[in-house]
Each structure stands twice: as C-alpha cells, then as structure tokens.
Amino acid sequence: MIANGAGLLSRLCNDQNSEDGLLRLVPADGKEMVEFTRSSESGIGADLKVLKFDTKGGSTEKYARTVPGDIVQTFRNFVDSIITHQVHAKMKRDGLLVLLDEFDVIEDKKGLGSLIKSLTSPYLKFAICGIGQDLADLVADHASVERLLEEGAIHVLPMDKPETEEIFFTAERLFKGQVTFERSVIDEIVSVCQGYPYFAQLIGKECISQANLKGKTTIDRAIFGGVLDDIRSGRAFPTLESSYQRAIGNSRDRELILHLLAGQPEEIAMFNSESGRILLKEARKDAEELEIQYIDQLVPRLVDPSYGPVLRRVPERQGTYEFVNPVLRLYVRLRAI
C-alpha cells in the first residue's frame, strides 16, 4: 500500500541523479533488506533498481527504465516492475493497491483521472480518500471514470461510539497501564468528537500532556475539564485556533454567525445520515434575535479562500453549506465567544 499519490509521483520521478533509497516495500527482517532506488549510468539514463543487502554482500538488478520528460510513462514502468518483481514474485500477493490519501488537498488533479483509468487492472487498483466533492474533478478529464466511482465509491461514516472508545482502550494498552482514562471522561470525549477519530486523538493527547505536567497517571474529570478550558480559550490546538481566527478576522458578527452555523442541531443540519449540511435559513432566525446585520455579506466571507475557506456551498441545494473541515466545526462548538 502506497500513501499519497502526488507525493509518490514526485518521489519516483524527480531528482533522477539521486542514489538515495526511494520506495521500501519489504521491511528489513535482520537478514535481507530490499528497497527500490534510482541510479544513473552513462548512456542509459536513470533506472529503477532493486538493491539486496545480506550477509554475503550486495547485488544490483535493473528493473525498469525512466523515460526522460515523461513522468506518466515512467510511473507506469515503475508500477509494472513493482507488481511483476516484488508483489507477484517476492511477496506472492495477487496485486497492488495504491492509496491516494488526502486527495482533497491536491490542487491540480488534471490527468489523474485518465491515469487511474488506464492503469487500473485486475492486478492494480487505486483507492482515493478525501473530504468533500473533489472526486468530480477526476471525471472532467475522463468521462468513464464516473462509472468506476459509482461502482466502487464508499462513503465513510463517522465512527460509532464503541469504535471511538476503542481509541482510548488501545492507548491504555500501548501505555501498559501507565496511563488510564476514567470511563466518564471517555464518554464525554466520545460525545464531543461526534465520531471523528482525529479530534478524539487530539483531545486524548492533550489530556495526557496535562496529566504529565501534573504528575498524574489517571485522566480524570479535573484534567479533562482543564483541557476543555484551554480549548474554550484557544490555547489547546494552535492549528485549529489559527483557522478560527482567520475565519472571524476582526468581525464580531462573523464570529457569531460562525458559531450559529457550527452549532446548528444535527437533526436540522442533516438531510440524511451521510451528510452534515447547514441550512442558512435556520441560522437567519437566530441571527435576527442576536441583531446580527448583513448576514448575506458575512457568509460569503466564510466561503472566501482568503478566510479559510471555512464553508463550501452545496451547489445542488440553494442556501445550503457544509464545513470544509468538519473537525473545525466541532472545535467552534467548544470555542468560547
């Protein structure tokens, strides 16, 4: 499994004179280490090679050719070589899964749809992970990709309560009992995190940091309460706080409307169990009570990339938005105004 497709292409095909190891598919087991690397030889350019290190010394075998100026064909050659010589021959596996993680952060997706379509085979599959509607960009350069997306798309729902609890039970096992969480604290963290494991991990890590400062091994309600106080004041998570401050700027009204949108009840915000969308008309009622003016000018700022963006419009439904980062929505709910 290879994470981050954009990074993979860059690592495979840039700096062709490098002698450094590139892609390690089999970890060192104490006897033999196998890794793919590039090497330059006079007259033939940079090739993909496999280096084998063992007690008898090293040997080098040529596996695939780099095509100068053609990053796509080079990637094809490398992938074919990996499947033939490593996945099938050495690992005795049926095929290779290339995982393109955090796909939503890739700005220029041009050509990826065609590449994925042409390379997909019984021996090579691609899995794309991301937040939002970015998969539509793939369809733009290869219409038949849409069929593949419809056949293989999996909507990842938030984790349920037992799954989120397992994060903390696993942490306790890994710490071998040196750190424990009170059950009531786990219940509160699970409730706050709404099934998003990243936020649960952030809070759990901050709880452990606070416990270490106080010389405690049990995460009790006092420690968790201190972490909540730090979140409310903006001291706990610098990255989320930076996004929050950029979104609100110096506008008190924009801060209020952001909190109204983030705090919109799930039974109102969600059209179905698979989406967490925000209805602007519901926020207008509360905005009027708080005497927030010019709401139609405030919301576009939250969509503006200069301020985040925090929100994205849902084009198929008028007056409907969703948070670009759902974890930021949870953070805003806890953040004090």
- Domain boundaries defined on the chain: 5-152, 161-229, 238-334
Is 131's pLDDT higher than 80?
no
| Bridge partner residues of 60 (DSSP) | 51
Residue with tokens 């593949």: 148
Q: Output the average pLDDT for the chain.
A: 77
State the Cα angle at 146 between 144 and 151, rounded to 5°.
110
Mean pLDDT of 129-149: 64
The CATH number of the structural domain formed by 161-229 is 1.10.8.60
d(CA 59, CA 47): 15
Is 104's pLDDT higher than 80?
no
> CA dihedral in degrees (87, 91, 95, 101; nearest 10)?
-80
**Residue bearing the bigger pLDDT, 280 or 301:** 301
Mean pLDDT of 5-21: 38
Is 151's pLDDT higher than 70?
no
d(CA 136, CA 314): 13
| Structure tokens belonging to residue 62 | 């040529």
DSSP character at residue 62: E
Is 149's pLDDT higher than 70?
no
Mean pLDDT of 283-297: 81
37 confidence band (pLDDT: 50, 70, 90): very low
Percent of the chain with pLDDT over 90: 35
- What does pTM read for this prediction? 0.67
d(CA 82, CA 34): 12
| Top mean-pLDDT range of 1-10, 13-22, 42-51, 64-73 | 64-73
Is 63's pLDDT higher than 90?
no
Is 169's pLDDT higher than 70?
yes
Asked if 112 and 140 touch (Cβ cutoff 8 Å), the reply is: no
**Residue bearing the bigger pLDDT, 288 or 8:** 288
| Top mean-pLDDT range of 5-19, 189-203, 318-332 | 189-203
